[in-house]
Amino acid sequence: MEELFKKLKEMNLPKGKFAIFASGPMVIRKLRESKKLEIIVTRDIFDEFRKKDDWSVKNELCEGLQKDNIEMYYEWGPGEWDIDKLVQEAETINDLPFVKLEEVLRWKKLYNREKDQKDIELIENYLNQK
């Protein structure tokens, strides 16, 4: 995952325009591992990267872009999410912005897949120890 964090830094995205979501905030706290990095970005950044030939369109719950193991979204699901607010309130760790762990927990509870249930337990235990 360190390699993906490095690649993200090399993208030189403007501060205040993106944040790492999904498992990234868990990985940086060493709660679990992941093979991909999912970031949320403001609409202008998404539109800029959509024009690049080396980024492919990815559709799951919402439209995204993908290059290697980095995925980029300007929307998030399930549920209603204010991407701009999540980005603005992100916590900086190792010079990268991460969506607050409490928001990751809220998302995991909404999605509630089997792997999310394990993550919910990990996050709740972590937050209870703080």
Q: What is the pTM of this model?
A: 0.94
Residue at 10 is within a domain: yes
In a domain, 107, yes or no: no
pLDDT at 1 over 90: no
Quick one: pLDDT band at residue 114, thresholds 50, 70, 90?
Answer: very high
Residue 114 included in any domain: no
Cis peptide before 78 (omega within 30 of 0): yes
Q: 44 in a domain, yes or no?
A: yes
Nearest to 7 by CA among 68, 88, 87: 68
112 within domain boundaries: no
Residues constituting the chain: 130
Asked if the structure places residue 38 within a domain, the reply is yes
* Mean pLDDT value across residues 19-30: 97
How many whole angstroms from its chain centre is CA 118? 18
What's at 74, amino acid-wise? Y
Q: Which residue do the tokens 């690649």 mark? A: 7
| Number of domains observed in the structure of the chain | 1
- Among 118, 89, 81, 96, which Cα is nearest to 126's? 118
Helix (H) or strand (E) holding 73: strand 70-73
Question: Which domain, by its residues, includes 19?
Answer: 2-100
The 10s digit of each residue's pLDDT in 47-103 is 999 999 999 998 776 889 999 999 999 999 888 899 999 999 999 999 999 999 999
Tell me, yes or no, whether 71 lies in a domain: yes
What is the residue type of 105?
A: L
